[in-house]
Amino acid sequence: MRRTAWSLKARAGPRNPLPPLLLFTDPGRTPDVLAAAAALPRGSGVVYRGFGRPEAAREAQALAALARRRGLVLLIGGDPGLARAVGAQGVHLPERMAHQAGALRRRGLKVTAAAHGLPAARRALRAGAQAVVLSAVFPSRSPSAGAALGPVRFAALVRAAGGPVYALGGVNTKSARRLLATGAAGLAAVEGLGPAGPKG
């Protein structure tokens, strides 16, 4: 996945200042967030999603320290306050919070936003998000994943979105190669990345 992600970034050029490869943590599917983050190549990003758990602040603080040592970009999912508290570089907003993107960027944070269709992607980018993470591109085990878009429909949405778009959902070493011609700005995954590290 690393080679594919960096190839996508090279094609995207300067329009996407964010990492080409994003690891999304999930309490149920990322049992050891530090090990998963430590396996990433330098220049990757981590989207930490604590979902309000009691240990979220502790894990986010440890991730922030790891990110500084390893040259990673840390985004905190849906919690700008936690992002500021741990010194993360930015936030990842769910669709319902995408309207906050511009204000958060004015505070110096990097901002990405989730989208599950073209209207949401356009709204987030117009609101100031630097990129949107569109899902689900391929079939996914995520409980929130809808029907898979497939690479052809995903490519059409990328062209229509008006800004950088990441692919999320069922993205792994094999499926990532099918995204090379889509115009995606980068790749995002939960289980496609892990302690064994990305392959390909």
Interval 152-182: pLDDT, tens: 999 999 999 999 999 999 999 999 999 999 9
Choose between 65 and 29: higher pLDDT: 65
The more confident residue out of 139 and 198 is 139
- The C-alpha R_g of the chain, in whole angstroms, comes to 15
Could you tell me the pTM of the whole model?
Answer: 0.93
Query: Regarding beta strands 45-48 and 73-77, do their DSSP bridges make them parallel or antiparallel, or are they unpaired?
Result: parallel
Task: Give 200's pLDDT tier (boundaries 50, 70, 90).
Answer: very low
Q: Which helix (H) or strand (E) holds 5?
A: helix 2-12
Return the pLDDT at 198.
Answer: 52
Higher pLDDT, 16 or 151: 151
Mean local confidence (pLDDT), 14-25: 91
| Residue 13 confidence (pLDDT) | 77
Q: Is the pLDDT of residue 123 over 70?
A: yes
Query: 77 or 28: whose pLDDT is higher?
Result: 77
Q: Residue 21 pLDDT more than 70? A: yes
Would you state the pLDDT for residue 12? 80
For the chain, what is the mean pLDDT?
92
Structure tokens at 166: 């990441």
State residue 199's pLDDT score.
46
- Give the pLDDT score at 66: 98
CA distances 12 to 1, 63, 107, 200, Å, are: 16, 28, 26, 19
Q: Give the domains, in start order, of the chain with CATH numbers.
A: 2-189 (3.20.20.70)
SS (H, E, C) 89-136: CEEEECHHHHHHHHHHHHCCCEEEEEECCHHHHHHHHHHCCCEEEECC
Q: What sign has the CA pseudo-torsion 101, 198, 187, 168?
A: negative
Q: Which residues of 143-160 are buried (b: 16+ CB within 10 A; e: fewer)?
A: eebeebbebeebbebbee
